Structure 1
Amino acid sequence: MACRIGELVLGCREPEVLARFWCEVLDFVVLGREEDGSMEIGPREGFGGPQPTLFLSRRDEPEKGKSRLHIDVNATDRDQDAELERLLKLGARPADIGQTGQEQWHVLADPEGNEFCLLKARLNPL
């Protein structure tokens, strides 16, 4: 039997801020809160469904070096340009990682600077 991703963990200084951002981006809800301020967000059906949850692990100091986790997102109900505009209004900002400008995706950063990409292909909502 194979494994499947149930949860992605992202270290951050302000879980509340990232929870608001990623809940809006992914149409997730807050599933739980820890005493230290860490939070788990995910689809309304909760942990164990078809999508992994995102655990925002509170850290006082960012981890040294570049984050090795990179999230790619796809719009489900609009084209890429409209979704880019929505993400920028939510607080994402363009990130330069050496793109040529010919890519079919946009590299962005969330409010704490974690890079993610908005891909061109549109996916069906679950």
Structure 2
Amino acid sequence: MTPVVRLRSVVLDCPDPRALAEFYAALLGGTPQGEEGDDDWYVLHVPGGTRLAFQRSEGFTPPEWPRADRNAQQFHLDLDAGVTWAEVDVAHERALALGARPLQVAEREKLDFAVYADPAGHPFCLCRIADG
């Protein structure tokens, strides 16, 4: 089937677009770009991946994971963190050092992923790439 459109960006609302763009740049690579004099919008071209954009949202309230009754997560990012648990451990430590907060890491071996919140509170998963 011929697509009608192409995905341009995944846009995350947040209180500080530059800071969140820098967090994801440190985690995924790339360089955040903003318009001169405009701190309300930053774009990150992830090498070999999708463009992430960050826009200021006054009064932003982060999602609460895993609550579904109020302010539920609207989406999350799944990030490949490595094939071995040693590689995932390195990604885990780096994510924490950058300001990520663990939400669900206890059953990661069973699930093949662990859940974190970025500095603005959006959930993301560090996933182990399954063999084969």
TM, length-normalised to structure 2 = 0.74
Give, in whole Å, the separation in 2 of the partners of 1:74 and 1:68: 20
Residue aligned with 1:10, SS: strand
Residue 69 of structure 2 is aligned to residue 71 of structure 1: no
| Alignment check: 8 A CA contact 1:6 1:51 kept | no
Residue aligned with 1:67, SS: coil
Query: Partner residue of 1:42?
Result: 45
What is the root-mean-square deviation of aligned Cα atoms in Å? 2.5
Residue aligned with 1:21, SS: helix
Measured after TM superposition, the shift of residue 9 of structure 1 is 0.7
Computing the radius of gyration from Cα coordinates, the structure with the larger value is 2
Measured after TM superposition, the shift of residue 36 of structure 1 is 5.0
Q: Unaligned stretches of 5+ in structure 1?
A: 45-49
Specify the code of the residue in structure 1 equivalent to 2:44: I
Query: Partner residue of 1:47?
Result: none
Residue 8 of structure 2 is aligned to residue 6 of structure 1: yes
**Percent of aligned positions that are identical:** 30
| Alignment check: 8 A CA contact 2:17 2:39 kept | no
Residue aligned with 1:8, SS: strand
Give, in whole Å, the separation in 1 of the partners of 2:26 and 2:15: 19
Q: Unaligned stretches of 5+ in structure 2?
A: 64-70
Specify the code of the residue in structure 2 equivalent to 1:26: L
Give, in whole Å, the separation in 2 of the partners of 1:71 and 1:93: 14
Residue aligned with 2:54, SS: strand
TM, length-normalised to structure 1 = 0.77
Query: Partner residue of 1:27?
Result: 29
Query: Partner residue of 2:49?
Result: 51
| Alignment check: 8 A CA contact 2:31 2:44 kept | yes
Residue aligned with 2:20, SS: helix
| Alignment check: 8 A CA contact 1:107 1:117 kept | yes
Q: 1:90 aligns with which of 72, 75, 98?
A: 98
Residue aligned with 1:112, SS: coil
- Greater share of residues in helix: 2
Measured after TM superposition, the shift of residue 100 of structure 1 is 6.6
Judged with a 3 Å threshold, the aligned counterparts in structure 2 of structure 1 residues 121 and 51 are, in CA distance, closer, same or farther, namely same
